Structure 1
Amino acid sequence: MTTPADLDDRYGRRADPRRRRAVWIAAVAAAAAVVGWFGWHTVANPDNGVRADGTSFHLEERAVTVDFQLTAPLRSRVACAIEALDEDYGVVGFKVVEYPASDSPVRAYSERVPTLAAATTGLVNSCWVT
C-alpha cells in the first residue's frame, strides 16, 4: 500500500522548513514595508489642506515683511508661524498669526516680523487649521 509520505518522496513534494520560513519572512517584510509607507506618508503629508507659498520678503533694519499666499479649506480658521532668519539660518524673529475663516480657498497676506538682529530672509515655517 502506498502512503502519502511515499508519494511525496517519489514526486519530490517535501515540506521544506527553510522554504516555509523564507515565505513567512518575505510576507512579514512586505507587510512591514506597507505599514511603514503608510505611516511615513501620513506623517510627511498631513492632510489638513493648508499650504503657504512665500511670494516675497522685504528686509528692514529691525524687521522683515513676508508676503505669501495661503491656501486653506473653506470656512476654516488658520494660524501660521512666520520666521525671520539670519545668514547662519538662525531664527532672529518669530511670529504666530491667526487668520479668520474665509469663503475663499486662496488668500494673500503680508506680515511684518520684528527681529532681534539683522535678518537675511523671511519665510512661512508652517500653517495649520485652528
Structure 2
Amino acid sequence: MPADGEALAGRYGNTAQRRRTTRWLLIGLGAFIAVVMIAWAVWGSGLGSSASSLQYTDTANDPIDGQHITVSFAVDAPPNTAVSCAVEAQNIDFTVVGYDVVHLKPTAETHQVVTKSLITYEPAVSGSLDKCWLT
C-alpha cells in the first residue's frame, strides 16, 4: 500500500504550516540582523555626535638628544570642548620609548597646534600622535 505524501509529511514534521512558520522566522531573523548591523554602522561612524568633528594629525617631530624628543600636532575640535591626545616616541626598532597624554583645555578656537616634549628612556628616532579623544 503506497504511503500518502501528507501523512508522511505530518509524521516527520514537514507540513505546509511548519514551512510557513519557519520561513517567517527566518525572514524575521534576517530583518533583525539587518537592523542591528545598520545601527552598529551608524553608531560606529559617530554620525550625529561631536566626536565625528574631531580631527587630528602629526605635523612634526624633532629628536633633541638621547633622552628628549618634541612632537608637534594639530587638533581640530568643536569649540569649548576638552580634548586629550596620546603622544609617543619610538626608537629605531619601533619600540615605544616615551609616552604621554596631553590634555587640551576647552577653548573657543576650533584649531590648535600643540608641541609636546617627551622624555625617553632610550634614544628616540621618531615621535608621533597616537590618538585623540573628547574628554
State TM-score, norm by structure 1.
0.72
- In structure 2, C-alpha distance between the alignment counterparts of 1:66 and 1:27, rounded to whole Å: 53
Q: Hey, what does 2:58 align to over in structure 1?
A: 54
Q: Hey, what does 1:9 align to over in structure 2?
A: none
Q: Hey, what does 2:10 align to over in structure 1?
A: none
Q: Hey, what does 1:91 align to over in structure 2?
A: 96
Q: Give RMSD over aligned pairs.
A: 2.5
- In structure 2, C-alpha distance between the alignment counterparts of 1:59 and 1:34, rounded to whole Å: 50
**Residues 15 and 118 of structure 1: CA distance in aligned 2, closer, same or farther (over 3 Å):** same
State the SS of the aligned residue for 2:62.
strand
1:1-130 equivalence runs, <5 A: 15-43=16-44, 45=46, 47=49, 48=51, 49-60=53-64, 61-130=66-135
Identity %: 26
- In structure 2, C-alpha distance between the alignment counterparts of 1:50 and 1:124, rounded to whole Å: 14
For 1:5-60, what per-residue CA distance to the aligned partner results, in whole angstroms no more than 9, with x for missing partners? Answer: xxxxxxxxx94532441332233133223313423553464842322111221223
Letter in 2 for 1:66: V
Unpaired segments ≥5 residues, structure 2: 1-14
Q: Hey, what does 2:12 align to over in structure 1?
A: none
State the SS of the aligned residue for 1:104.
coil
State TM-score, norm by structure 2.
0.70
**Residues 93 and 16 of structure 1: CA distance in aligned 2, closer, same or farther (over 3 Å):** same
Unpaired segments ≥5 residues, structure 1: 1-13
